[in-house]
Chain A
Amino acid sequence: SQQGEEDPQALSIQEGENATMNCSYKTSINNLQWYRQNSGRGLVHLILIRSNEREKHSGRLRVTLDTSKKSSSLLITASRAADTASYFCATASGAGSYQLTFGKGTKLSVIP
């Protein structure tokens, strides 16, 4: 069952600009994770934020989590052509069994 839903579905920006992707979910979570997928390849983990955290940074990535609004955002600053990929949020939720459920992704294109 799909829990996270990313927005927008597709995003096109110029190199050097910032890219913001959003994820909304329906039920309470233990943590939320963001992954990147280059075309047809396996997903790569970017960042994990726990439900008691509000913000997390990793290099040019900034993730926020608002549990009251059941939403998260991923900000990529100073984007590069190499950031072109699909980005997925995944939520870990459930009673005693924290299944990870993925959204459908945001396709980011960074134009050189």
Chain B
Amino acid sequence: EAQVTQNPRYLITVTGKKLTVTCSQNMNHEYMSWYRQDPGLGLRQIYYSMNVEVTDKGDVPEGYKVSRKEKRNFPLILESPSPNQTSLYFCASSLTQGFSPLHFGNGTRLTVT
């Protein structure tokens, strides 16, 4: 089954404790992206990747890192999480950037205390 898999689904952590949210897709998509969703603000893009070893900042990249060492994986790293990063995070992938539908993971609800 074609899917984007994010883990974990829920995560509660403390300020400053490094964490990684994993994202994997099995559709051989070139394009992958991370979004955060906050009430009243909609979906905002954090980082995206056009292909292996090619990543770029979205609208809200501060406090996040990503890497794309393999085509299928695109982890999101929070080196020193802060409470304002409490949010619902989504990973998504598509065949091409902007021209084809995005496939979303089921989300990771992160709480930073």
Residues of A within 8 A of B (CB): 1-2, 30-31, 33, 35, 40-45, 48, 88, 90, 92, 94, 97-105
Contacts A40-B109, A42-B104, A42-B107: A31 and B42 contacting too (C-beta < 8 A)? no
Q: Quick one: which of B40, B48, B90, B99 contacts A42, CB cutoff 8 A?
A: B90
Question: B97 in the interface, Cβ–Cβ < 8 Å?
Answer: yes
Contacts A41-B107, A44-B104: A31 and B41 contacting too (C-beta < 8 A)? no
Question: B68 in the interface, Cβ–Cβ < 8 Å?
Answer: no
Quick check: B101 and A33 within 8 Å, CB to CB? Answer: yes
Residues of A within 8 A of B107 (CB): 40-42
Quick check: A31 and B98 within 8 Å, CB to CB? Answer: yes
Quick check: A43 and B99 within 8 Å, CB to CB? Answer: no
Q: Quick one: which of A30, A41, A103 contacts B99, CB cutoff 8 A?
A: A30
A45 vs B105: C-alpha distance when bound (angstroms): 12
Closest chain B CB from A68 CB (angstroms): 22
Closest chain B CB from A71 CB (angstroms): 18
> 8 more A-B contacts (CB under 8 A) besides A42-B92, A98-B97, A99-B98?
A41-B106, A43-B102, A45-B101, A88-B42, A88-B43, A90-B102, A94-B98, A104-B41
- The residue in chain B whose Cβ has the minimal distance to the Cβ of A29 is B98
A69 vs B88: C-alpha distance when bound (angstroms): 33
| Most chain A CB within a 10 A radius of its CB, from B33, B41, B45, B98 | B98
Quick check: B88 and A30 within 8 Å, CB to CB? Answer: no
Question: B59 in the interface, Cβ–Cβ < 8 Å?
Answer: yes
Contacts A102-B43, A103-B42: A92 and B99 contacting too (C-beta < 8 A)? yes
Residues of B within 8 A of A98 (CB): 97-99
Residues of A within 8 A of B106 (CB): 41-42
Contacts A40-B88, A104-B40: A45 and B109 contacting too (C-beta < 8 A)? no
Quick check: A97 and B97 within 8 Å, CB to CB? Answer: yes
A3 vs B21: C-alpha distance when bound (angstroms): 27
Question: B103 in the interface, Cβ–Cβ < 8 Å?
Answer: yes
